[in-house]
Amino acid sequence: MTYSQVHADPDVYEVKVPFQNVSTNATNCFVVLDGGEALVVDTGAPTDEGAAVLDEALDELGVDRSRATFFLTHLHLDHAGLVDRVVPEGAPVLASEVDFNAMRALGASGYERMRRRLVAEGMAPSDASGYARHSVEMPLFDPARVSMRFVAEGDEVAVGSRRFRVLEVPGHTPGHLALFDPDSRILFGGDHVLFVISPGIALFANGGDGLQAYLDSLQKVRALGCSHLFVSHGEEWPFFNERIDWLRQHHLERLEETCAIVRDRPGLTGVQVVRAIKWNVPFERWEDISFMQRWCILMEGLVILDHLVSRGLLRREEDESGLRRYF
């Protein structure tokens, strides 16, 4: 059996769609069945193994794909990558317009913008090109092939007698969404809150403060009074409120650590500040960290610096050579 039942009333089934990532090896996709209707939350990464696992689970659960609704918490590869292989032509796909537009805005202009930013933060141009290239997410599916529908805060997603409420919980991506059932009080949270890792925070292309958006949306979810939080990676645990509190405190402590680094060593470049932070990796040397994990650290570090500058806790100045330095 390729799925397991994780909730009753409504009936919720979890499908672990395999995909080896930095700290995880699967995406938890969910199927809600009620009144003969089906809602599929996320699809997983575009691999042959993942497609086979999800297809088999949908078949075993008796899901008529042409009548099902597909909801994407966000538009990352490991969540929306199987849309073209699993969703039939013309079937409804619900997603965030903010994330959709952010994905389309990347491409060549996004690459060059990120490359320039990394060079200004003190990275060698040759290295900056590689990291910037990795920051550009290719289109994950053809929106014209499906019935694309954008949803936002307060919209409802119906499945049988259930009316799930769409919540905007930005941070991991600018338009990250969650689904909340007011009756059972279950929440499909995507990558907003995880137990296996601390979710990465996105650099918002519009210059918005991604970290503040994340801290605010953590409090928003905390106030819902959920009965169960379904996460997209790792196992679910009952103490999710404590995890939300830990995630908030974790970020506040990292902000204090970053301020202390700059206070003790004023004038560091952005890359120097980021490399001085004590990241949770089992390596002493930067060069021993995998490229993918270094990229994650760099993006998170820039988010932290942007937040501290926007809050007036750090000052960013450009020196005579165009390098950004922090005070």
Instruction: Please report the pLDDT score of residue 311 as a whole number.
Output: 97
* Residue 293 CA: distances (Å) to CA of 104, 111, 297: 24, 19, 6
Instruction: Please report the pLDDT score of residue 306 as a whole number.
Output: 97
- Residue 230's DSSP bridge partners are 188
CB 102 within 8 A of CB 173: yes
- Residue 318's DSSP bridge partners are 324
Instruction: Please report the pLDDT score of residue 111 as a whole number.
Output: 83
Instruction: Specify the higher pLDDT residue, 20 or 303.
Output: 303
CB 4 within 8 A of CB 14: yes
Q: What is the pLDDT of residues 240-252, one digit of tens each?
A: 999 999 999 999 9
Query: Residue 40 — very low, low, confident or very high, per pLDDT cuts 50/70/90?
Result: very high
Q: Which of 100, 41, 97 is nearest to 69 (CA)?
A: 41
Tell me what the mean pLDDT of segment 211-227 comes to.
Answer: 97
- Residue 180's DSSP bridge partners are 165, 187
Helix, strand, or coil (residue 298)? helix
For 53, how many CA atoms within 13 A lie in the half-sphere containing its CB?
23
Q: Which of 261, 263, 244, 264 is nearest to 301 (CA)?
A: 261
Q: What is the pLDDT of residues 157-200, one digit of tens each?
A: 999 999 999 999 999 999 999 999 999 999 999 999 999 999 99
Angle (CA) 115-120-123 rounded to 5° is: 70
With 60 as the cut, is the pLDDT of residue 108 above it? no
Above pLDDT 90, what percent of the chain?
A: 81
Report the amino acid identity of residue 212.
Q
pTM for the model stands at: 0.95
CA 147 to chain centre: 23
Above pLDDT 70, what percent of the chain?
A: 98
Q: What is the pLDDT of residues 142-158, one digit of tens each?
A: 999 999 999 999 999 99
| Cα distance from N-terminal residue to C-terminal residue, the chain | 57
Report how far residue 294's alpha carbon sits from residue 289's, in angstroms, rounded to the nearest whole number: 6
Instruction: Please report the pLDDT score of residue 291 as a whole number.
Output: 87
SS3 content of the chain, % helix, strand, coil (to 5): 35, 20, 40
Instruction: Please report the pLDDT score of residue 133 as a whole number.
Output: 83
**Poorest-pLDDT segment among 54-58, 75-79, 288-292:** 288-292
With 80 as the cut, is the pLDDT of residue 276 above it? yes
Count how many residues are written for the chain.
327
* Summary count for the chain: helices (H), strands (E): 10, 15
Instruction: Please report the pLDDT score of residue 104 as a whole number.
Output: 72
Query: Residue 132 — very low, low, confident or very high, per pLDDT cuts 50/70/90?
Result: confident
Summary mean pLDDT of the chain: 94
Query: Residue 105 — very low, low, confident or very high, per pLDDT cuts 50/70/90?
Result: low
